[in-house]
Amino acid sequence: MNGSAIAASGLRKAYKDKVVLDGIDLDVEAGTIFALLGPNGAGKTTTVNVLTTLLTPDAGRVVVAGHDVVTETKAVRAAIGVTGQFAAVDDLLTGEENLLMMADLLHLPKAEGRRIADRLLDRFDLAEAAGKPAASYSGGMRRKLDLAMTLVGEPQIIFLDEPTTGLDPRSRRTMWEIIRELVASGTTVFLTTQYLEEADELADRIAVLDQGRLVAEGTADELKRRVPGSHVRLRFTGRHELDAAARILPGSTRDDEELTLRVPGDGGVRSLRALLDRLDQHSIDVEELSVHTPDLDDVFLALTGNANKEVSAR
Amino acid sequence: MNVIADSGTMLRRNFRHTMRNPMALFNGIVMPVFLMFLMVYVFGDAFSVGVDYADYATPGLMLTTICYGIGATAIAVNSDMTTGFINRLRVMDVSRAAVLNAHVIVTMLRSLVAIAFVTGVAFLMGFRPSASFAEWLGVIGIVVLTVFAIGWLTVAFGLAAKTPESAGLAAVPLMLLPFLSSAFVPAGKMGPGARQFAEYQPFTPIIETLRGLLTGTPSAGSAITAVAWCAGLALVGYLWARASFKKRA
């Protein structure tokens, strides 16, 4: 499938007088990972619930896997799989029974259900624990089982609501690996997260959600370039060069001890070339040059308005 | 026929839950049997109700058994809701009917098994009913109807509660109701206030109907009231459960 796996326009949802989603537009290309990034209470779960047919939007149109979520609910449900924020596994059933139950609910033939369950248990390293009740699983194992249950139906599009919240670093890495494998095999993944690192690691495109609005969208690099604070750091061999460079580059900040000069700029090729040309014109030797883009944390704080002061003070 | 297949799958799951949840088995079967022993063997001789106490108390204990078994159902239903399990089922297009029916059916089966146990113990302790075959069928009918009504009501409690803990608590009033009915002593012997309450609450006509059938003296009046109460409670429970499910899931 090429083109859009998920397309939403003008999505709105309010509970009584509290507006949760205030006009969201999304476009997720098939076969990619899309991350919806936002702080708690931004509306991430509500967005997932609308995209997965669990909630009806007040306004707007959502097309998932080519079907309208409101009028063609069944077709949408047949194409998607959802793993919610809390591992929705059945604690009293074993890992294997959980998977077989999914196969039964999908009305797969018994033998096929068994085969799929066994394969998923192997793939997610759960074969050894297959006969133990899920209540005895660690947090990471529960999440894996949860995702495995979603995969029994071999969905084209998978929604993961904060898939690694509460996991230890190792389990988180394992989960990332699994998500990458899914996409490599052609699945589209829509995930929500409050971790910038996660969005940065996994996502082809990232949208930043804050108080029900999308405040930015793009690749991780595009987003990083959007906030002020990018700069070029120049290091010189001696005080003389530093003085000369500081004179021709107004607005830069110098560090006499380190013999460095910090030149504000977006770090793009064009401005970098202009900077180098200028230094050449004045025959100033630069020992070392590095481009510093703010990390996603800076972007996040700047875009979600929680730390305007901090950013503008820089 | 997905609804039937899915109900079967959910039923198998809920059945496993009961078998693996010692608390459900204990509250559902051991507690009522102990209560039977306590009321009849320990306290029984102190109550003068005009007939053998085992004969008097057994119908009430049948009902009490139902009420003790429902806590597990309320908690199970609520956990399905709060853990997101029901959302998973909804995205898989499993019908609401399959999910809720399975809970009601398992509750009914569990209660009926427990009632069979309790009745067995009652026989050991001197319960000698004089009901005919037809009257026994009447007893079974009333019991099934009552479990059905209370089952739906419990599912509704479970769906409406915010947490599994409060869901478990919501079942407590139902555990207390039998004590404020004619289950263990006739309403006429209670103090003012309690007596009126006992006379007009739904359990009293249900228990009186069972008692009448078991002693071979059925009363049409109390039977009609009992059936009306059951139908009413079942309807309220069903509609409430449906509305909560729609709102929350």
* pLDDT tens, position by position, B211-227: 999 988 888 888 999 99
Q: Is the same domain home to A279 and A158?
A: no
A112 located within any domain = no
Q: Is A26 helix (H, G, I), strand (E, B) or coil?
A: strand
Which pLDDT band holds residue A312 (cuts at 50, 70, 90)? very low
Cβ <8 Å between B94 and A133: no
* A78 CA: distance to closest CA in chain B (Å): 7
Cβ <8 Å between A105 and B20: no
Tally of domains within chain B: 1
Output the pLDDT for position A39. 84
Cβ <8 Å between B93 and A78: yes
Higher pLDDT pick, A175 / A86: A175
Q: Is the same domain home to A219 and A153?
A: yes
Q: Is the pLDDT of residue A1 over 50?
A: no
Q: Is the same domain home to A241 and A214?
A: no
* A83 CA: distance to closest CA in chain B (Å): 8
**Chain A residues with beta carbon closer than 8 angstroms to that of B97:** none
Q: Is the same domain home to A217 and A177?
A: yes
Please name the helix (run of DSSP H) or strand (run of DSSP E) that holds residue B191, with its range, or none.
none
Cβ <8 Å between B13 and A53: no
CA dist B138 and B132 (Å) reads 10
Higher pLDDT pick, A161 / A1: A161
Tally of domains within chain A: 2
A21 located within any domain = yes
Output the pLDDT for position B71. 87
Most confident of the ranges A150-154, A221-225, A300-304, B33-37: A150-154
Q: Is the pLDDT of residue A314 over 60?
A: no
* B109 CA: distance to closest CA in chain A (Å): 19
**Cβ–Cβ < 8 Å for A1, A55:** no
Share the mean pLDDT of chain A: 87
Q: Is the same domain home to A220 and A235?
A: no
Q: Which of A200, A224, A248 is the last residue of a domain?
A: A224
Q: Is the pLDDT of residue B141 over 50?
A: yes
Q: Is the pLDDT of residue A309 over 50?
A: no
Nearest to A190 by CA among A81, A35, A297: A35
Q: Is the pLDDT of residue B37 over 70?
A: yes
Output the pLDDT for position A296. 67
Phi, psi of A13 (to 5 degrees): -150, 130
Question: What's the rounded mean pLDDT across residues A184-201?
Answer: 90
Which pLDDT band holds residue B1 (cuts at 50, 70, 90)? low
Do the strands A188-193 and A157-161 form a parallel or antiparallel pair, or are they unpaired? Answer: parallel
Q: Is the same domain home to A159 and A191?
A: yes
Indicate the pTM of the whole model: 0.79
Q: Is the same domain home to A241 and A218?
A: no
A250 located within any domain = yes
pLDDT in tens, B78-91: 988 888 888 888 88
With pLDDT > 70 as the criterion, what percentage of chain B qualifies? 99
Q: Is the same domain home to A236 and A152?
A: no
Q: Is the same domain home to A196 and A242?
A: no
pLDDT in tens, A52-99: 998 899 999 999 999 999 999 999 999 999 998 777 899 999 999 999
- Alpha carbon A32 to chain centroid, angstroms: 11
Question: What's the rounded mean pLDDT across residues B35-43?
Answer: 85
A303 located within any domain = no
**Chain A residues with beta carbon closer than 8 angstroms to that of B93:** 74, 77-78
Output the pLDDT for position A308. 37
**Cβ–Cβ < 8 Å for A297, A196:** yes
Taking each helix axis as running N to C, give the angle between helix B2-20 and helix B96-124, from 0 to 180 degrees, rounded to the nearest 10. Answer: 40
> Which domain CATH number covers A256?
3.30.70
Output the pLDDT for position A305. 62
- Structure-token pair, residue A72: 């063609």
> Which domain CATH number covers A178?
3.40.50.300
Output the pLDDT for position A17. 84
Q: Is the pLDDT of residue A306 over 60?
A: no
Question: What's the rounded mean pLDDT across residues A271-298?
Answer: 84
pLDDT in tens, A118-165: 999 999 999 999 999 999 999 889 999 999 999 999 999 999 999 988
Q: Is the same domain home to A65 and A149?
A: yes
Cβ <8 Å between B17 and A107: no
Alpha helices (H) in B171-219, listed in sequence order: 172-176, 194-200, 203-214
Cβ <8 Å between A54 and B83: no
Q: Is the same domain home to A72 and A199?
A: yes
A18 located within any domain = yes
- Structure-token pair, residue A110: 């018994």
- Domain range for B124 is 2-248
As a whole number of Å, the end-to-end CA separation of chain A is 46
With pLDDT > 70 as the criterion, what percentage of chain A qualifies? 93
Output the pLDDT for position B95. 84
CA dist B5 and A235 (Å) reads 72
Share the mean pLDDT of chain B: 88
- Domain range for A11 is 4-89+137-224
Q: Is the pLDDT of residue A169 over 80?
A: yes
Cβ <8 Å between B89 and A105: yes
Most confident of the ranges A100-104, A232-236, A262-266, B92-96: A100-104
CA dist A273 and B172 (Å) reads 76
Nearest to B159 by CA among B51, B48, B70, B245: B245
* B91 CA: distance to closest CA in chain A (Å): 6
Q: Is the same domain home to A200 and A254?
A: no
A152 located within any domain = yes
The residue in chain B having the minimum alpha-carbon distance to the alpha carbon of residue A15 is B247
Phi, psi of A189 (to 5 degrees): -120, 130
Output the pLDDT for position A313. 32
